[in-house]
Copies of this chain bind each other. A is one copy, B any other.
Amino acid sequence: MVNKLWDHIQFVRDQSPLVHNITNFVVMNNTANALLAVGASPIMAHAHPEVKDMVSICQAVVINIGTLDEYFVKSMKMAAGQANALGKPWVLDPVGAGATPFRDEVLSELLALHPTVIRGNASEIMALAKANQTVTKGVDSTAESNEAIDAARFLQETYGAVVCISGATDIIVGSGQTIFLKNGHPLMTKVTGLGCSATAVIGAFIAVIPDKTEAVAAAMALFSLAGELASQTAAGPGSLQVQLLDQLHSLSEAGFKQQLTISLHG
């Protein structure tokens, strides 16, 4: 599996997929830089008169609701609908799921457009599952991490998406299998938008890799390992953001294979 994930990373570097992002204002810059660093080409565009045209020329779409408003919500729905119409993959980042009723309504509408992948932290994945269950069961375990996995499994089975719970351990829930990645570093939580950057990188990987579960695993393996290596040398969160981009760009096959910590279930 480690060999396969590395091949995917190299494939993205070689293919340089064009990825269309409708994302939040806070992370547009570092998200675009993360995409460039892994070898992809980012486009950021949200104008209603061109959203569908942009989806048509890209290979994947990233939708992140962080600083959503009515205009951007319409852009997101247009882009997701067009991605579906053209059979292109798209990833949803449900930033702040559960924080306000408005977010939950928008997320329900986006879920109905069947994202290829959903990536959030445990709290967001649980909120997303809870808000979209018609029967109030299935997300009822007591331990928080198990609860998040149950929520991810519910979303995976109901909507057909690969679901990624990012955190100290990144958990990727695909159809019939679950992948655990134990790289990363606590300092990464002190830099804004690293989760959003990981989502964008997932967009680059699902753009060109047919097996979407492996695509998400490869993206998260690269991202969390780059973050871990950057954290080991960074003097603080400012340096970490900079060195993370350097590592995303230059991480070598040897470094990747020696230091990746992965386990598979199912």
Q: Mark A136-171, 1 if CB is under 8 A from B, else 0.
A: 000000000000000000000000000000000000
Interface flag for A78 (CB, 8 Å): no
Q: How far is the CA of A68 from the CA of B5 in the complex (A)?
A: 37
Q: Choose among B25, B33, B69, B189 the residue that contacts A71 (Cβ–Cβ < 8 A).
A: B69
Q: B67, A237: Cβ atoms under 8 Å?
A: no
Which of A42-50, A177-185, A256-264 faces chain B?
A42-50
Q: How far is the CA of A123 from the CA of B32 in the complex (A)?
A: 20
Report if A54-B100 is in contact (Cβ < 8 Å); known contacts: A29-B27, A44-B26: yes
Q: Choose among B45, B50, B191, B243 the residue that contacts A235 (Cβ–Cβ < 8 A).
A: B243
Q: What is the distance, in angstroms, from A116's C-beta to the closest C-beta of chain B?
A: 23
Q: A67, B46: Cβ atoms under 8 Å?
A: yes
Q: How far is the CA of A245 from the CA of B236 in the complex (A)?
A: 7
Q: Hey, which bits of chain A sit against chain B, CB under 8 A? A: 24-30, 32-33, 36-37, 42-50, 53-54, 57, 66-71, 96, 99-103, 189-193, 234-239, 241-250
Could you write out 30 A-B pairs with CB less than 8 Å apart? A25-B28, A26-B32, A27-B29, A29-B29, A29-B30, A29-B192, A33-B192, A36-B190, A36-B191, A36-B192, A42-B192, A45-B67, A46-B67, A47-B70, A47-B102, A50-B100, A53-B100, A53-B101, A53-B102, A54-B99, A69-B71, A236-B243, A236-B246, A236-B247, A237-B246, A237-B249, A238-B244, A238-B246, A238-B249, A241-B245
Question: Given known contacts A29-B29, A32-B192, A49-B100, what 8 new A-B pairs fall within 8 Å (CB)?
Answer: A32-B193, A37-B238, A46-B69, A47-B68, A236-B249, A236-B250, A237-B245, A238-B245
